[in-house]
Amino acid sequence: MTQPVAPPSGTLRNLNWTYVLVGVADATLLPFIPLLLVERGLSASAIGLVLAFAASGSFTVGLICAYLADRRWSAERMVVVASAGAAVTALLLNLPGLVTVGLVVISLSLLRSPFMLLDPIALRRLRQARRTDYARIRLRMSAGWAASSVVAGAFFQGFGLRLIPYVYAPLTLLFGRWMWRTLRPTAQEARSANPPARPVTRIPIAFGGFLVSCFLLGASLAATQNFLTLQIDFLGGGAFLIGAAAAFQALAEIPTMAYMQVLTGRFGHRLLFAIGCGIYLAIFIAWAFVSVALTAALLKLVAGIAFALTYVAAVMIANDLVPAHLRATGQALMKSVLFGVAPILGSLGGGLVYEAFGARAMFLAATAVVGAAGLMALVAVPARTRSLTEEVAAPAPEVAPAVP
């Protein structure tokens, strides 16, 4: 067996900073979109409608980009172009009109959808490294998000949400510039990443079952996370506490992802995904009965553990179940379902239930959905997923020096 070779230290360093920068940029926008829409006069059901359209657009564009990335198009260049487009579009958020702000949010979602290619890019460049190193790189996004969301929340509470575009735009341009300078593929990498055309390999049925689980999880998360922002605001919290809540989740993600190697060795990705769903179930019940804004925000610490378990497990399950030459398509399918298709139902349904029956009914309904997601993963995903990939792709080395 050939001794594995770790990726160059420069590659790992560049990937680490790429994830930090995208986390810093996104944390100045994504946690505050529901609050921004409320400030502009949209109702809970209208916010749900806007977020549903945004999710559907992201689903469509993300799949197209993944299809192209698996067929000789540069994923890195698509991310760079997306960062520039998102920065320019964000500057339109302050245009007057309810319909206008909704259309800008939807457009932002469409333009940001190629960002989902970051994980296939990282997995391709780590193809010779230990597979658990992905979690150690992904935690950098959580670190950037944690620091940025607190600072952004305090800033926006003091100076107003109208400044969101002028903070987000330069930060996402900085992220795109870093990608262009450090992760632009060479001609040799492009040939290696995009081998000659081959017969399309059938994606295992297990992956379809796992997508159902991702759909249920994504629907419950869209309903709860988006409208938790409104609930914190209703209970007396402001932009600072909303930003702090986002930071709490990211802070909890960091040690969980850092410890993922040990957890994976003990439980496996399939069981970790189900455990994460179980933790979410408990959090949703707690949110249904909490009446203090700070308590609702602090529960995001536990949500961070659940997100780290489910997200990293989902990325690795998709990587294992899908043939290697369709890696970008597999990752895009998983993320498009989890963060694209599912939020359509979750945002619409969550907004309608929140407006008609209140926050408690909405959170309790989400518990049943997320519980079903965990059970579906246990049923659909084989206990040993690695063997499915090995049937259609060359075995990946299992041991290499750890990422510093």
Query: What is the CATH number for 103?
Result: 1.20.1250.20
Instruction: State residue 132's pLDDT score.
Output: 56
Instruction: State residue 51's pLDDT score.
Output: 84
Please answer whether residues 269 and 147 qualify as being in contact, where contact means their C-beta atoms are separated by less than 8 angstroms: no
Q: How many helices (H) and strands (E) does the chain have?
A: 19, 0
Phi-psi region of 5 (alpha: psi -120 to 50; beta: other; left: phi over 0): beta
Q: Write the CA distances from 332 to 60, 105, 129, 357, 379, integer angstroms.
A: 10, 21, 22, 34, 22
54 vs 348: CA distance, rounded Å = 11
Please answer whether residues 352 and 367 qualify as being in contact, where contact means their C-beta atoms are separated by less than 8 angstroms: no
Instruction: State residue 200's pLDDT score.
Output: 47
The answer to whether position 351 is within a domain reads yes
> Residue 110 corresponds to which tokens in the numbers above?
């469409």
Q: What is the pTM of this model?
A: 0.72
The answer to whether position 401 is within a domain reads no
Buried b (16+ CB within 10 A) or exposed e, 244-280: bbbbbbbbbbbebbeebbebbeeebbbbbbbbbbbbb
Q: Which residues of the chain have pLDDT under 50?
A: 1-6, 128-129, 188, 191-200, 386-404
Instruction: State residue 356's pLDDT score.
Output: 84
Tokens 């930003």 found at: 243
Instruction: State residue 177's pLDDT score.
Output: 93
Q: Which distant-in-sequence residues (6+ apart) come within 8 Å of 188 by Cβ? A: none
> Residue 24 corresponds to which tokens in the numbers above?
């810093």
The answer to whether position 402 is within a domain reads no
The answer to whether position 1 is within a domain reads no
Helices 342-357 and 205-234, packing angle to 10 deg = 30
Instruction: State residue 98's pLDDT score.
Output: 87
Instruction: State residue 131's pLDDT score.
Output: 55
The answer to whether position 382 is within a domain reads yes
Overall domain count for the chain: 1
93 vs 301: CA distance, rounded Å = 30
Burial grade of 145 (CB within 10 A; 0-12, 13-18, 19 or more): buried
Instruction: State residue 396's pLDDT score.
Output: 38
Burial grade of 179 (CB within 10 A; 0-12, 13-18, 19 or more): buried
Longest distance between any two alpha carbons in the chain, whole Å: 64
Q: What's the DSSP call for residue 338?
A: I
Closest CA to 318 of 331, 336, 335, 332: 331
Instruction: State residue 5's pLDDT score.
Output: 46
The answer to whether position 22 is within a domain reads yes
Tokens 């379809």 found at: 208
- Which range marks the domain in which residue 86 is found? 9-194+201-390
The answer to whether position 4 is within a domain reads no
Instruction: State residue 284's pLDDT score.
Output: 94
Instruction: State residue 380's pLDDT score.
Output: 87
The answer to whether position 396 is within a domain reads no
